[in-house]
């Protein structure tokens, strides 16, 4: 069995006394892509922030790359190989694409040429300021800045925000290739459930801060009608 890069057990967490996540348990192994799905407000971003050590769990345990995340600073987890791409992409508009990747690449773990092979559409944009790129191109830069660090655990929040499903599928194909080539464990938060499932091994569906459905991507796909009815706020079969 391959090593677990993320392990979550009986996790409860939230904001200033308001519990958002209740009893979440799952894990991500090396080389595995796991989709974290669920409607708006289900607790997806709160989950990623808790795994990354930004929010302290009120109960339960999170282990990142074998270490308890509550005892590590986010900075330390990053040094050990965790990369977190936030919903707003975390980019600086005034930097060029080239400088963004150079900044991300401080430890030179991967040549930018290799990243360009994973995301060839970036090549012609190399000298352009990030602020002048389209939303999809900016998301590609955010992903490239993550890939250049060759993460062991990659946490991706909502890459698809405002992007066409075709663009999202291309980005996810690069994520899939990286997981296969490097053994990176990926946890990706997505609204486009079908596109995410096509690139994932397994999926977890959150609803009201609890795990409503969990399984291999195929099984979750076949129950997607139930998942989608929960997106629309209907009672469905997930309660």
Ligand X SMILES: Nc1ncnc2c1ncn2[C@@H]1O[C@H](COP(=O)(O)OP(=O)(O)OP(=O)(O)O)[C@@H](O)[C@H]1O
Q: Under the rule (CB under 5 A), what is the footprint of Mg ion?
A: 44-45
Applying CB under 6 A, does 162 fall inside the site for ligand X? no
Assess 88 for contact with ligand X (CB under 6 A). Answer: no
Residues 6+ apart with CB under 8 A from 120: none
Q: How many residues does the chain have?
A: 239
Distance separating alpha carbons of residues 116 and 194, to the nearest angstrom = 26
46 is an interface residue for ligand X by CB under 6 A: yes
**Euclidean distance between CA atoms 228 and 233, whole angstroms:** 9
3-state SS, residue 130: helix
Instruction: Using the minimum distance from each CB to Mg ion, give the nearer residue, 36 or 118.
Output: 36
Q: How far is the CB of 188 from Mg ion (least distance, A)?
A: 12
Nearest to 158 by CA among 192, 118, 124: 192
Strand ranges inside the chain, DSSP E: 4-15, 18-29, 33-37, 59-64, 67-68, 82-85, 153-157, 185-189, 202-207, 210-216
Helices (H) and strands (E) in the chain, counts: 9, 10
Q: Does 43 bind ligand X (CB under 6 A)?
A: yes
Burial class for 182, CB neighbours closer than 10 Å (0-12, 13-18, 19+) = middle
Q: Which does 40 bind (CB under 5 to 8 A by kind): ligand X, Mg ion, none?
A: ligand X
Select from ligand X, Mg ion, none the partner in contact with residue 41, using the beta carbon and a kind-dependent cut-off of 5 to 8 Å. ligand X
Contact call for residue 40 and ligand X (CB under 6 A): yes
Taking CB under 6 A as the criterion, the residue among 42, 172, 195, 211 binding ligand X is 42
* Residue 38 found at the interface with ligand X (CB under 6 A): yes
- Least distance between ligand X and beta carbon 119 (Å): 24
Measured CA distances, 40 to 28, 144, 209 (Å): 23, 26, 11
Nearer to Mg ion, 45 or 96 (CB): 45
Query: In the complex with ligand X, which residue's Cβ is closer, 24 or 175?
Result: 24
Instruction: Choose between 48 and 101: whose C-beta lies nearer to ligand X.
Output: 48
Q: Please, which of residues 15-34 interact with ligand X by CB under 6 A?
A: 15, 18, 20
H-type helices in 5-96, by residue range? Answer: 44-51, 74-80
Query: Binding mask 166-205 vs ligand X (x if CB under 6 A, - otherwise)?
Result: ----------------------------------------
Could you tell which of ligand X, Mg ion, none binds residue 96, using a CB distance below 5 to 8 A set by kind? none
Query: CB-wise, 37 or 122, nearer to Mg ion?
Result: 37
- Positions touching ligand X (CB under 6 A) are 15, 18, 20, 38, 40-46, 158
């Amino acid at each position: 069995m391959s090593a677990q890069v993320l392990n979550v057990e009986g996790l409860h967490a939230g904001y200033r006394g308001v519990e958002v996540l209740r009893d979440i348990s799952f894990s991500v192994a090396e080389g595995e892509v796991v989709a974290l799905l669920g409607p708006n407000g289900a607790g997806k971003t709160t989950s990623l922030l808790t795994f990354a050590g930004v929010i302290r769990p009120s109960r339960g345990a999170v282990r990142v790359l074998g270490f308890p995340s509550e005892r590590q600073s986010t900075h330390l987890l990053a040094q050990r190989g965790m990369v977190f791409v936030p919903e707003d992409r975390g980019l600086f508009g005034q930097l060029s694409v080239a400088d963004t990747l150079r900044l991300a690449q401080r430890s030179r773990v991967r040549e930018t040429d290799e990243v360009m092979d994973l995301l060839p559409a970036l090549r012609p944009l190399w000298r352009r300021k990030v602020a002048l790129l389209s939303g999809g191109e900016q998301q590609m830069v955010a992903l490239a800045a993550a890939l250049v660090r060759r993460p062991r655990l990659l946490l991706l929040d909502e890459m698809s925000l405002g992007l066409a499903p075709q663009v999202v599928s291309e980005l996810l194909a690069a994520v899939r290739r990286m997981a296969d080539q490097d053994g990176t464990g990926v946890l990706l938060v997505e609204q486009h459930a079908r596109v995410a499932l096509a690139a994932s091994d397994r999926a977890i569906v959150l609803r009201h801060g609890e795990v409503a459905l969990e399984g291999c991507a195929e099984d979750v796909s076949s129950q997607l009608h139930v998942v989608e009815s929960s997106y629309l706020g209907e009672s469905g079969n997930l309660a």
